[in-house]
Structure formats: C-alpha cells, structure tokens
Amino acid sequence: MTALLSVEQLDVRHGLLQAVRQVSFEVAEGETLALVGANGAGKTTLLRTIAGAHRPAAGSIVFDGRDVTRLSAHGRARLGIALVPEGRRLFPELTVEENLRVAGAAHRKGRWTLDEVLGTFPLLAPLRHQRAASLSGGQQQATAIARALLTNPRLLLLDEVSLGLAPVAVEGVYRSLQPLIESGTTVVLVEQDLGRALSVATRVVCMLEGRLVLEGGAGELSREQVTDAYFGLARGVGA
C-alpha cells in the first residue's frame, strides 16, 4: 500500500523538554492507525506536529509525496490534513450548524457536505440550531468530528475522542466513526482506551516517553503485548 503520511526521525520540543524523540512511521492511504500510550507519552504533541500546530526540532513529515515539515497548519489543511483536537474547541456561542459552516466555507472539494455529515452523524440533525455550549460532551465531540470532515480531509487526526465522556457517549462517538472508517478515510486516532483503539484500528503504534516502542498490525499484536509496551514492561522498552 502507498504511504499517504511518512514521519521520519521526528524530534519535538517544548522548551527544554523533548516530547517526541526520533519517531518514524508511515500511514497508508485508507488505513486506521491507533496511536496509544500513557499520559505524557507524546501522542498529542506528535499529532499536533503532523497537523502543523508545533514546529519540529528535527526530522521530516511527508504527506502524499510532499515534504510539509515547514508548511503552516493552514497550508496542511488545504492539502487535506484535518485535526480534531483534544477538548473539541468549538465556538460555544455558535449553533451546531454555524460551527459546521465555519469549516465548510473554505472546504476542499469532496463527498462531505453539510447534508452528508448530518446523515453520518444523525444525532446532530435535531441539534443543528442549538448552541454548542448547550451540548453534552458526546454531542460536542460528534460536532467537532463533523466539522473536520467538512474540510474533506484525506487524513483525519483524532485526539482523545473518548476523553472525559460517559461510556454511552463514547459508544455513540465510535458508532459514528464506523462509516468513516468503512468509507476508506485515512485516520490516525490517539486513544488511551486500548480496547476501543484495537477494535477500530488496522495498525497500532505505541509510544512511551516520547519514543515509538511498539508497532504492528492490530490483528497481529496481542492485548498483552500492547499493554506491556504501554507501561514500559516489554523487553527493551524505554532503553
């Protein structure tokens, strides 16, 4: 399979803190990659760096054959990289529909229209005229994902989609993600819930203290292998 995204020897710093260390991996077009690891492992920093929100100290990011390492976040969005950030970051005083139209105003051409995303996220249709601030956490998360889709991304980056949500809301969000995955949308999913991550991913990358410590097909890795890498218990992890 052709790599849509290639990350090579990436280093990312927050001041004196090195959050990502020499990370390399690829994501094939149509793949769902789960990026897992404990708090502080560097997952969110890595995702934000791919999206252009952080500038790497070293290494490269290649998207669809183009080096985008120094390209702005807006430039990457125009190429088809969309980030659903941790915490959703909706405009709280705008309605659901207004939040969606903000993204749709400058969207790339593609299948995702307002009607299409409302059909994919049917829980949003009756809420389209409600202010985002009045929504539940699960409804806000669905709105944030729908907003990203309206940019018609080739690569969708999802950061901690289940964080802070009740179990029933998490179930609803993942149910809404299923049509996206089945349609061939390329997804990189940051998730602390290993069960959820393994249930939707085609491949898993585990990070520990900024490093990539395990990588493999979701069907090839046991839950024990992933758990050991997650907590730094596997042989050689963290060395």
Residue 238 predicted with pLDDT over 70 = no
**Looking at residues 178-198, what average pLDDT do you find?**
87
Per mean pLDDT, which range of 41-45, 59-63, 135-139 is the poorest? 135-139
The residue that leads in pLDDT, 89 or 35, is 35
**What pLDDT shows up at residue 1?**
62
Three-class secondary structure of residue 131 per DSSP: strand
For residues 124 and 180, the answer to whether their CB atoms sit within 8 Å is no
Alpha-carbon distance 100 to 123, whole Å?
A: 14
Three-class secondary structure of residue 3 per DSSP: strand
Residue 121 predicted with pLDDT over 80 = yes
**What pLDDT shows up at residue 103?**
76
Beta strands 3-14 and 17-28 are antiparallel
Alpha-carbon distance 46 to 63, whole Å?
A: 15
Domains and CATH numbers, the chain: 1-32+56-71 (no CATH), 72-186 (3.40.50.300), 201-239 (no CATH)
Percent of the chain whose pLDDT exceeds 90: 58
Three-class secondary structure of residue 210 per DSSP: coil
**What pLDDT shows up at residue 111?**
82
Residue-averaged pLDDT of the chain: 89
Residue 110 predicted with pLDDT over 60 = yes
Alpha-carbon distance 202 to 34, whole Å?
A: 8
**What pLDDT shows up at residue 17?**
92
Residue 94 predicted with pLDDT over 80 = yes
For residues 118 and 124, the answer to whether their CB atoms sit within 8 Å is yes
Alpha-carbon distance 35 to 167, whole Å?
A: 20
pLDDT-based confidence at residue 235 (cuts at 50, 70, 90)? very low
Helix axes 167-182, 137-149, angle to 10 degrees: 20
Residue 236 predicted with pLDDT over 50 = no
